[in-house]
Amino acid sequence: MGTEIHTFSSLKDLNDFLLDEIDQYRVLHEDYSQWLGSLLRSCEDTHKNEDWYKKSAELQKSLSTQAKKAPATKETGKKGAGKKGGGKGKTSESLVWVQSGNLCLSSTEQGQAELLFDAIEKINAKVQEIEKSKVTIQQLERLGLGVDVSYILYIEDDVPKKVVLRAKNSSSKDEVFKFAAELSVPALFSNFKE
């Protein structure tokens, strides 16, 4: 969706939502990684001596190693971006991609590999940000918040950005109880007077 607002009645519900988001991104990461691996294997015979293929194969191996250990960390994300964003990548991109309006077009395996790498890097970054949000939610839980609080979560670019804490309207429960007590008390006193 990109930008959303969700309301949760407990920190557990909020935490479960974040865990589901992380799981969905990990499944997507795995799918794209397999697609990328298949693409690189199919290109090996025709492109194995080309610079872009060597770099892509190397980067793909490092991504698969990261995925086995844990989601990408800040350092690995920066290294991956650094390899791809170098000066040579910029010149090869201009040969691979053609600007058409606000879109870039490519008809090459290199373009497809770059597309998959970009998607995998974005997914890794989102998982990292959601993980950080999850840690913050766990800290709120340790502070004792949760019982009489609802949480309004603002999500921007699929990542939690802000949370509004609202006290649940527990006064209505008290009013109902007080109202029932007031009705039953006068009835008892009226029986004693007679």
What residue ranges do the domains of the chain occupy?
A: 11-134
Count the helices and strands in the chain (H runs, E runs). 6, 5
Distance CA 143, CA 141 (A): 5
**What are the two backbone dihedrals, phi and then psi, of residue 8, each rounded to the nearest 5 degrees?**
-125, 140
Token readout for 38 is: 């298949």
The label of the residue with tokens 């194995």 reads: 48
Token readout for 28 is: 């997507």
The label of the residue with tokens 């959601």 reads: 130
What is the chain's pLDDT, residue by residue, as a tens digit (194 residues)?
679 999 998 888 999 999 999 999 999 999 998 998 888 888 777 766 667 766 776 777 666 555 555 444 333 333 333 333 433 333 344 578 888 999 989 888 888 888 998 999 999 999 999 999 999 888 888 887 766 888 999 999 989 999 998 887 755 454 444 434 343 444 444 455 54
Partners of 163 in the β-ladder:
153
Question: Which residues 6+ apart lie within 8 Å of 89 measured at CB?
Answer: 55, 83
